[in-house]
Structure 1
Amino acid sequence: MAQNLMVWLIERRVVLEERAAQLRKQLTDTEAEVARLGAAEVVYQQYQEDAEAGHPDATAWQQALEEATGGTPAAPPRPVGTPGAAGQLLIPHHGPDTGTDDLPAEYQKIMEIVAGGDSPLQAKDVARELGLDAVPAKVEPVRGKLRKLAERGWITRTPAGRYLPR
Structure 2
Amino acid sequence: MAQNLMVWMLERRVVLSECVERLRKEPADTEAEVARLEASEVVYQQYQEDADAGHPDSAAWQQALEEATGGEPAVPAQGPGATPGAAGQLLIGHHSPGSRLEGLPGDYRTIMGIVAGGDGPLQAKDVARELGLDAAPAKVESVRGKLRKSAERGWIARTPAGRYLPR
Q: TM-score, normalised by structure 1?
A: 0.77
Deviations 1:46-102 (A, max 9, x none): 2212321337964355345337xxxxxxxxxxxx97221110000101112311111
CA distance in 1, matches of 2:92, 2:61: 15
CA distance in 2, matches of 1:127, 1:81: 30
Moved over 2 A (4+): 29-34, 53-67, 80-83
CA distance in 2, matches of 1:117, 1:159: 18
**For residue 87 of structure 2, what is the aligned residue in structure 1?**
86
Structure 1 unaligned residues grouped into runs of 5+: 1-7, 68-79
Deviations 1:9-28 (A, max 9, x none): 33212212112112212332
**Counterpart of 2:25 in structure 1: which amino acid?**
A
2:31 counterpart (9, 15, 38): 38
Q: TM-score, normalised by structure 2?
A: 0.77
Q: How does 1:72-111 map to 2 (within 5 A)?
A: 82-111=83-112
Task: Name the Cα RMSD after superposition.
Answer: 2.3
**Counterpart of 1:135 in structure 2: which amino acid?**
A
**For residue 19 of structure 1, what is the aligned residue in structure 2?**
12
- Choose 45-54 or 115-124, whichever is displaced more: 45-54
**1:118 Cα deviation after fit:** 1.4
Question: Across the two proteins, how many residue pairs are aligned to each other?
Answer: 147
CA distance in 1, matches of 2:2, 2:63: 60
**For residue 166 of structure 2, what is the aligned residue in structure 1?**
165
CA distance in 1, matches of 2:98, 2:111: 20
**For residue 151 of structure 1, what is the aligned residue in structure 2?**
152
For residues 63 and 15 of structure 1, do their structure 2 counterparts lie closer, same or farther at Cα, with a shift above 3 Å needed? farther
For residues 34 and 61 of structure 1, do their structure 2 counterparts lie closer, same or farther at Cα, with a shift above 3 Å needed? farther
CA distance in 1, matches of 2:30, 2:64: 19
**For residue 138 of structure 1, what is the aligned residue in structure 2?**
139
**1:131 Cα deviation after fit:** 1.1
**For residue 70 of structure 1, what is the aligned residue in structure 2?**
none
**1:52 matched to 2:45:** yes
CA distance in 1, matches of 2:157, 2:30: 30
For residues 153 and 121 of structure 1, do their structure 2 counterparts lie closer, same or farther at Cα, with a shift above 3 Å needed? same
